Amino acid sequence: MSIDTETAARVAKLARIRVEDDALPALAQEFSNILGFIEQLNEVDVEGVEPMVSVTPMRLKRRQDGVTDGNMQEKILSNAPDAREGFFAVPKVVE
């Protein structure tokens, strides 16, 4: 599967990563190379093989329903470029 520059631009936009127009062909080529590499896996016959989702012999760890965290507004907001009255303040988002 080959990725064209238009798709590369779209993926960049969805990921909110700015890519200058003249860098797009190279990026698209890189995507194509990665996909081509992965496509080799299609050659392996996995008919009837259950997908392996993890290499650790573990079950999903669970937690009891108890309040054990939170109550640290100051810390939560400490990295915010702007915070007011306990809220993160961000440039206006209008629907």
Residue 35: partners with Cβ closer than 8 Å, 6 or more residues away: 1, 2, 3
73 binds other proteins (CB under 8 A): yes
Q: Mapping DSSP to helix (H, G, I), strand (E, B) and coil, where does residue 84 land?
A: strand
Residue 80 CB, nearest distance to other proteins (Å)? 9
**Segment interacting with other proteins, rule: CB under 8 A, options 1-9, 24-32, 39-47, 72-80:** 72-80
> Count of alpha carbons within 13 Å of 71, Cβ hemisphere only?
3
Residue 51 CB, nearest distance to other proteins (Å)? 10
Which helix H or strand E contains 31, and what residues bound it? helix 24-39
60 binds other proteins (CB under 8 A): yes
18 binds other proteins (CB under 8 A): no
